[in-house]
Amino acid sequence: MNDAVAIPVDRESQASRGDHEALRLWLRLLTCTSLMEASVRAELRRDFDCTLPRFDLMAQLERHPEGLRMGELSRRLMVTGGNVTGITDQLVREGLVTRAAPPDDRRAFVVRLTPAGRRQFERMAESHEAWVVRLVGGLAAPERRQLFELLGRLKRSVNRARSH
Amino acid sequence: MNDAVAIPVDRESQASRGDHEALRLWLRLLTCTSLMEASVRAELRRDFDCTLPRFDLMAQLERHPEGLRMGELSRRLMVTGGNVTGITDQLVREGLVTRAAPPDDRRAFVVRLTPAGRRQFERMAESHEAWVVRLVGGLAAPERRQLFELLGRLKRSVNRARSH
DNA sequence: TCTGAATAGATGAGGCCTGAAATGATCGGC
DNA sequence: GCCGATCATTTCAGGCCTCATCTATTCAGA
């Protein structure tokens, strides 16, 4: 058994002939995402001592300099509100984001990147994009475009099925 | 804003024009997986009071009636060994799997489904497949095949990039 | 046979995440 | 102005997951 070569054992590789194709599609999708996520997570940790959820939250804020409310972060990151509370708490403690009370709604908070947060995010974002480019670089540009298009259709299909 | 229709706000929808296509591809992939995973998780919980990691572990065992060692489970599920230990402990406590000592290696354990575990898994697997079929049903069969093929290439690309 | 390296699994601290319940604030209709 | 419904957020218990570290076992070579 040679460890220098990637071991092709994962959920999807083991699907048996009897499995229907929808299931195999799902397992392969899951495998791709898991592999990429593990890779990105490891590099983010190694080079910046940062976790993926923190990076994702900061990425949303970077796109919205005016700030986002907790609930909007929750929707965009597709995680529950309680979770956003926890991660935001940490980032506030570390001085990377601020929680401000908007004048018009005392229930809400607006989260924004601090200058330090923005600087740190920008350092990470550059590496992050390079990693992702490398991971998908084995596909030719037309293949990537086609995959992007098909995933768009899949997304619509899933959203339709989910909304009954 | 009409909540009866699925809200199209997620990580990927917000990608700005400046983002490179590799990054958008990654975000869209992540969105699709998250959506499907959330859906499957919710139905598994609602109908069987079971979590996805437990289901996944049992699914591996179902494909291998002779049993799998902890380390093999870990590789196939793409999670760390410590994690497999925890989930297996629970399933053993609930009588769904067994841990047996193989005669040839006293370091290892072989995990197998019990008859009760197999029965429970089979009940879940049927529903599970139906959900997945429904989620991807918005794509025509040729589109699904093409997506499957492109994801296979992506997987190889990622594996190549990961092994330096 | 002995010994050091590698391997299988367990353990523990810490972070992520969910679902359910709780707290306050806002809003619409009366 | 009041009241119930709704909404934004927090809190908490519990499960998942990683990394680092530990123990016990196996293996390869002197």
Residue B18, pLDDT score: 45
Q: Which residue of chain A is at minimal alpha-carbon distance from B80?
A: A38
Residues in chain A: 164
Which CA distances in Å does B142 have to B84, B152, B161? Answer: 37, 15, 29
Distance CA(A157)–CA(A151), nearest Å, equals: 10
Residue B1, pLDDT score: 34
Residue B20, pLDDT score: 86
Please list every residue in chain A whose beta carbon sits closer than 8 Å to the beta carbon of residue B153: 138-139, 143
What are the pLDDT digits (tens) for B121-159?
A: 999 999 999 999 999 999 999 999 999 999 999 999 999
Residue A124, pLDDT score: 96
Segments of chain B scoring below 70 in pLDDT: 1-8, 14-19, 164
Strands of A97-100's sheet in order across: A68-69, A110-113, A97-100
Domains of chain B as residue ranges with CATH: 20-162 (1.10.10.10)
Residue B5, pLDDT score: 40
Contact A112, A58 (CB under 8 A): no
Residue B163, pLDDT score: 78
Interatomic separation, CA of residue B107 and C1' of nucleotide C7, rounded (Å): 9
Measuring from the CA of residue B53 to each C1', which nucleotide is nearest?
D16
Contact A155, B25 (CB under 8 A): no
What are the pLDDT digits (tens) for A112-145?
A: 999 999 999 999 999 999 999 999 999 999 999 9
Query: Taking CB atoms and an 8 Å limit, are B155 and A20 in contact across chains?
Result: no
pLDDT along chain A (164 residues), means of 10: 47 63 95 95 94 97 96 96 97 96 94 97 95 95 96 96 80
Residue A3, pLDDT score: 34
- Separation in Å, CA of A30 to nearest CA in chain B: 6
Contact B47, B120 (CB under 8 A): no
Query: Taking CB atoms and an 8 Å limit, are B154 and A134 in contact across chains?
Result: no
B125 is near strand D: CB distance < 7 Å: no
Distance CA(A122)–CA(A114), nearest Å, equals: 12
